[in-house]
Amino acid sequence: MHGSGNNFVIIDSRLVDNANRDYREIANDSNCDQVIVVTNSNVADCFMHIYNADGSKVETCGNAARCVGYLIMLEKSTEYATIELMNERILECFKTELGVLKDPVAVNIGNPHMIFFVNSIEKIPLLNLAPQLETHILFPKKTNVSITQIDKSGEINLQVWERGTGITASCGSAACAAFVASVLRGYITAQQTSVNFLGGNLSIEWKDNVFMTGDVEFIQ
């Protein structure tokens, strides 16, 4: 089984004891990245042991957890599973349909951002999808989630889910992160563009540093 290109041999030891198996030999014979052994857990749906190709054990692997979580969900006919890890952490796995949300860009601009590029931000149910993405295992301190639409003029239309807050009318760091991601992906070649939110517009420029310009007003 593989998750995003990581190949695993997954052994279910909940019913049969495989304690004496040579996992290094299994990994070498199958040319997999890791051997995953699933055992019983008193606090979760299962316990996941992870063996590298050299036989050493590691605490966690995100792609392996997704694969095991998927198998448990198939077994239980549900869309939720829990996995206990060697470091006593409990992983929660959810099944969700992301639709056109694929291939995000991760940008750290002083805080973490997950940037998705879409054809139309109006068609994406960010309110439903973002809570699970915010707490993705790759972001131990959570992340901001943005959906980005670039129009024909090269301007960016942006909707943002801010970690710990939810959807907001604007987000300056997300505007900077979205512009940087757009340039890195080759979608924008200019050094400056306008980033448009429901709450207003920001001008973002990236030369050696990233500069943000926008209005401020007192609230009466």
Is 171 an annotated catalytic residue? yes
Distance CA 180, CA 166 (A): 22
Contacts of 137 (CB under 8 A, 6+ apart): 60, 62, 65, 91
DSSP 128: H
Is 61 an annotated catalytic residue? yes
Pairing outcome for strands 112-117 and 105-108: antiparallel
Name the H helices within the chain: 23-30, 62-76, 126-134, 172-184
- The single residue of 32, 67, 171, 176 carrying the catalytic annotation is 171
- The single residue of 46, 61, 67, 176 carrying the catalytic annotation is 61
Distance CA 177, CA 146 (A): 9
Angle at 10 between CA 9 and CA 13, to 5 degrees: 135
Residues marked active site are found at: 61, 171
